[in-house]
Amino acid sequence: MSHPDFSCRACGFTGTQTVLDLGSTPLANALLDEAGLKANEASFPLVLVFCPDCSLVQITETVPPEVLFRNYFYFSSFSETMLAHAAAISQRLVKERGLGASSLVVEAASNDGYLLKNYVQAGVPVLGIEPAVNIAKQASEKGIRTVAEFFGQDLATKLAADGQRADVFHANNVLAHVADLPGFVRGVAAILKPNGVAVIEAPYVGDMIEHLEFDTIYHEHLCYFSLTALDHLFRKCGLAITDVERLAIHGGSLRIFASPISDQAQLTERFRALRAEEATKGLTSPTYYQHFADRVWALRDALKAKLAELKGEGKRVAAYGASAKGSTLLNVFGIGRESLDFVADRSTVKQGHYTPGTHLLITPPERLLSDRPDYVLLLTWNFKDEILRQQEEYRKGGGRFIVPVPEVAVV
C-alpha cells in the first residue's frame, strides 16, 4: 500500500510503501498521574513506511514536537550504560581532535548534560541545546551551559553569526525525532567550523528489521536510518559522511562522522563496506522489509501465550522499564493489567506515575524484592545486562526475567 498524501521527510517523494501498521497508540512517554487516569488519552496512528526514492524508513504521523518534548520524562543519567558510553566517546574526541580551552563542543538534544559534562571536566567549553525546559534547567544547574531550544537551521545560523561555531557537534538519538530532516542537517553544516566534525548516533534500521525491534517504533521516532539513506540526506545538505561505526547500544546503532564537503574528504573502508553490504542485503528495496509485519504478529502471539500460561499456573508477573519501547510493546500487543501487576523503573521522575494506555503503576525497583513476583517482563531489553546485574538479589531469590525481543526467552 502506498501513501500518496505523505511526502518523504528527507527527499519529498510521494508514494512511500507500508512496511508495518501498528494501529493507533498513545504517546509512548506521556506518563499519567492519578487525574490523568480519568481523562481521555489521545492516540495517534503508528504506520511505518519505506521511501523507494531515498531508502528512508519512517512513520507517517507527525505529532508536534512541542507536545512531545517540552516537558520530558527521559533523563539519560539514570542509565549507567549511557553514562559510560558518553564518557568513552567524549574522552576519545578530546584526544583525537586536540580539544582544549579555545574549542567548542555543541550538542543537540543534550538532555541533562550526561555527555557534555565529560568535556567540561576536560576543560573544553560546551553548549547544550535541549528543548525540554525541565531537563535543560537541571543541566544548567550542573554547570552545563544550555539553551532551552529546538535545534535547527535558524538557531544554528544565529549561533554561528554570534561566533558560536563547533569543533565537534554531537547529536545522539535525536535525528530520528526530527520532522524537518534537511533543516536539521543544514543547521549542522551551518554551525560547524570548516574543519569541524559532526558525530551523530541513530538506531540502525538494519538491526531493527533483522532483530525484530518493532518496539523502537513510536511517535517520537519519526525515522529509522540506513547508511544509504543518511548519505543521501547529508550530501544534499552540504555534509559528507566519511566514516561510520556499528554500535551495540539501543539494540544496534550507527555512529556517523560528517564534515563539510571538500576535496580532502576521504571515505573510510568501514563506510564503503557498509554501503556495499546494504546494497547486497537489499536495504534499498521494499522487498527487504516485506515480512517484518508477519514476524511482529507471530511474536505477539508467542508472548501473549507465554503470559497466559504463567497466569494459568498462578504465577505473578511484573514488568521492568517504563520505557517508550515498553509502551509500544504493551499497547500494540494488548498486554496490561490482566497480565502484569506493576512496572518497576529506576527513574525517580517516573515513579508514582502510570504507563500510557495500559495504566500500570510505576514503582521503584525495590518492589521486586518486597513483592517477589515470579517473573518480570523486561521491557528495556536494550539494557538487559545492566538490569540483570542490578537485580541479582531478586534473581538469586528465584525471580526470572522474560526477555521479549527478538524472541520470547526466560533468563
251 shares a domain with 394: no
**Same domain flag for 284 and 155:** yes
- Do 312 and 284 fall within a single domain? no
Find the CATH number of the domain harbouring 339: 3.40.50.720
**Domain match, 35 and 117 both:** no
CA Rg, the chain, in Å?
A: 21
Section 1-5 average pLDDT: 75
If we measure between CA atoms, which residue out of 61, 68, 63, 66 comes closest to residue 23?
A: 61
Q: From the CB of residue 271, how many other CB atoms can be counted at a distance below 10 Å?
A: 20
Domain boundary among 257, 289, 321: 289
Q: Is residue 299 part of a domain?
A: no
* Residue 222 belongs to a domain: yes
141 is a domain residue: yes
Helix (H, G, I), strand (E, B) or coil at 224: strand
- Total domains in the chain come to 3
- Within a domain: residue 66? no
Residues 107 and 39 in one domain: no
Q: Are residues 187 and 161 in the same domain?
A: yes
Domain end position, chosen among 11, 30, 58: 58
Q: At what angle do helices 324-333 and 292-312 cross, to 10 degrees?
A: 80
Report pLDDT digits (tens) over 194-253: 999 999 999 999 999 999 999 999 998 999 999 999 999 999 999 999 999 999 887 889
Q: Which domain holds residue 336?
A: 304-410
Query: Are residues 257 and 130 part of one domain?
Result: yes
Q: In this structure, is residue 64 part of a structural domain?
A: no
Asked if residue 170 is part of any domain, the answer here is: yes
Here the cell at position 351 is 515513579
Same domain, 46 and 105: no
Amino acid 69: pLDDT: 59
Shared-domain flag, residues 186 and 258? yes
The string of pLDDT tens digits covering residues 161-172 is: 999 999 999 999
Write out pLDDT tens, residues 111-160: 989 999 999 999 999 999 998 888 899 999 999 999 999 999 999 999 99
